[in-house]
Amino acid sequence: LLHMGNARGAALGDSLAFILDFCGYQVTREFYINDAGHQIELFGQSLEARYFQLLGHPAEVPAEGYHGDDVIETVQGFIAVHGDQYLQVEEDERRKTMVDYALREKLSAIEKTLRDFGVCYEVWFSERNLHKKGVVREVIERLNEKGYLYEQEGAFWFKAREFGIEKDDVVIRSNGVPTYFAADVAYHLNKLQRGFDWMIDIWGADHHGHVARMKSAITALGYNPDVLQVIIMQLVRLYRGGEVVRMSKRSGQFVTLEELVDEVGRDAARYFFVMRSADSHLDFDLDLARAQSNENPVYYIQYAHARICSIFRQLSEMGRDLSSFVPADLFLLKEEAELILTRRLADFPEEVAMAAKDMAPHRLARYLHEVAGLLHSFYNGHRVIGSDERLSSARLMLVNSTRIVLRNGMRLLGVSAPERM
């Protein structure tokens, strides 16, 4: 299940990938699967407890475990496939089998939800594989060889304080198990070993303190810390009828991305998630996102594009097309509304470049909204196809250029450009 933080991160990352690709970068979208560590152990214990319960045997879900209905649904699916044959199996094998089954089911559902949201990852990277392939041990050995580890009370610590961090970090616990921090460092080392020049991570606000620690580890491994750029996302609050929406009507738990898209549509969801800076809290107004009015920013932009398309349909009904009006004399565009729109359209390459440089898709969202406003102002006050053939030609060029900018810009944000509304 993907919550609003996941959804905002997916929209932000995918839009940024589109923008960077447009600017000439080779971009790989990668989803990091947290399928190892203590939380997975708790997940396995929770699945096992529900398995026993559903088959009529006493069992308790751990207090820190997973108590949601989705776990019960997953185990019901497991029982439908395997029945009670795992009751007599060794505990470790039973838990591993159940976790593997549950992860496959959940990842398949996540992939479908993201695909429906317009987000497709080229790589799904498993944390578990870092351990299986020895990458976690490799990174620990490299840090030790470089003199950045020390042992204390049976645990191994990374000397983060040498890089100005407030306290050192455990990489191997006293029980010999590597920490999440060790796995995270290994993951970034693996990315660099795969030949990436630049890594962009998108993290929740609760991971803010982790940025300096990760950069210090990358430095300790001999890399420039700037190869890692981290975007910290603030929280999303949903509103309906002016009230904060805390729970899903359907499940009684948090609102999922799937439910959001069902309610407001993909385009509105994609645009709303990127229309504010990632480091700003996002108040997502569900009523506004559904509204077919100029107050809804994504509707406002799409309607500008559709209005232009209607002009060219009118042209087609006259038995003509744009080619019959060229070459156009753009010096005939002298009205203030024409000149302001023309100048702002010329800013499109720079706006995209700055959105890439600042890793800020909201810049492009804001720009498109402004261009749409300028188009609406021009459209409301001027006839595009009139009796003056030369002026009509110039204005057709202007609105066609606007159509191209709006369409390209919306594509970079993962938003469709409808021709009719």
Supply the CATH number for residue 369's domain. 1.10.730.10
Q: What residues contact residue 272 under an 8 Å CB cut-off, 6+ apart?
A: 264, 282, 284, 289, 297, 298
Task: Kindly state whether residues 267 and 338 are assigned to the same domain.
Answer: no
Domain limits at 90?
Answer: 34-118
Last residue of a domain, one of 98, 118, 138: 118
What distance in Å separates the CA atoms of residue 335 and residue 338, rounded to the nearest whole number?
5
Instruction: Give residue-wise pLDDT tens across range 279-297.
Output: 999 999 999 999 999 999 9
Task: Kindly state whether residues 66 and 146 are assigned to the same domain.
Answer: no
pLDDT band for position 26 (cuts 50, 70, 90)? very high
Task: Kindly state whether residues 363 and 233 are assigned to the same domain.
Answer: no
In whole angstroms, how far apart are CA 307 and each of 235, 375, 397, 399, 419?
35, 9, 15, 10, 8
Last residue of a domain, one of 118, 147, 164: 118
Pairing of strands 30-33, 149-152: unpaired
Where residue 2 sits, what CATH number does that domain have? 3.40.50.620
Whether 67 has a pLDDT exceeding 80, the answer reads: yes
Q: In this structure, how many other beta carbons lie within 10 angstroms of the beta carbon of residue 276?
A: 18
Number of domains into which the chain is organized = 3
| 419, part of any domain | no
pLDDT band for position 418 (cuts 50, 70, 90)? very high
**Average pLDDT across the chain, whole number:** 95
Task: Kindly state whether residues 247 and 353 are assigned to the same domain.
Answer: no
User: Can you read off the two tokens belonging to residue 21?
Assistant: 């690709």
Residue 247, pLDDT score: 63
Residue 56, pLDDT score: 96
Task: Kindly state whether residues 156 and 278 are assigned to the same domain.
Answer: yes
What distance in Å separates the CA atoms of residue 16 and residue 280, rounded to the nearest whole number?
17
Q: What percent of the chain has a predicted confidence (pLDDT) above 70?
A: 98
pTM over 0.75: yes
| 421, part of any domain | no
Instruction: Give residue-wise pLDDT tens across range 248-281.
Output: 555 456 789 999 999 999 999 999 999 999 999 9
Task: Kindly state whether residues 83 and 178 are assigned to the same domain.
Answer: no
Last residue of a domain, one of 240, 255, 290: 290
Give 361-420 as a DSSP string: HHHHHHHHHHHHHHHHHHHHH--SS-S-HHHHHHHHHHHHHHHHHHHHHHHHTT----S-
User: Could you say which DSSP state residue 206 is in?
Assistant: G
Whether 358 has a pLDDT exceeding 80, the answer reads: yes
Task: Kindly state whether residues 108 and 196 are assigned to the same domain.
Answer: no
| 418, part of any domain | no
Task: Kindly state whether residues 199 and 213 are assigned to the same domain.
Answer: yes
What distance in Å separates the CA atoms of residue 160 and residue 211, rounded to the nearest whole number?
12
Instruction: Give residue-wise pLDDT tens across range 172-209.
Output: 999 999 999 999 999 999 999 999 999 999 999 999 99
| 215, part of any domain | yes
Task: Kindly state whether residues 281 and 170 are assigned to the same domain.
Answer: yes
Task: Kindly state whether residues 262 and 365 are assigned to the same domain.
Answer: no
| 77, part of any domain | yes
**Among the listed residues 331, 306, 271, the one whose alpha carbon sits nearest the alpha carbon of residue 399:** 306
Task: Kindly state whether residues 387 and 320 are assigned to the same domain.
Answer: yes
Q: List b or e across 135-161, with b for residues whose CB sees 16 or more CB atoms inside 10 angstroms.
A: bbeebbebbbeeebbeeeeeebbbbbe
What distance in Å separates the CA atoms of residue 300 and residue 306, rounded to the nearest whole number?
10
Under 8 Å between Cβ of 389 and 245: no
Task: Kindly state whether residues 321 and 208 are assigned to the same domain.
Answer: no
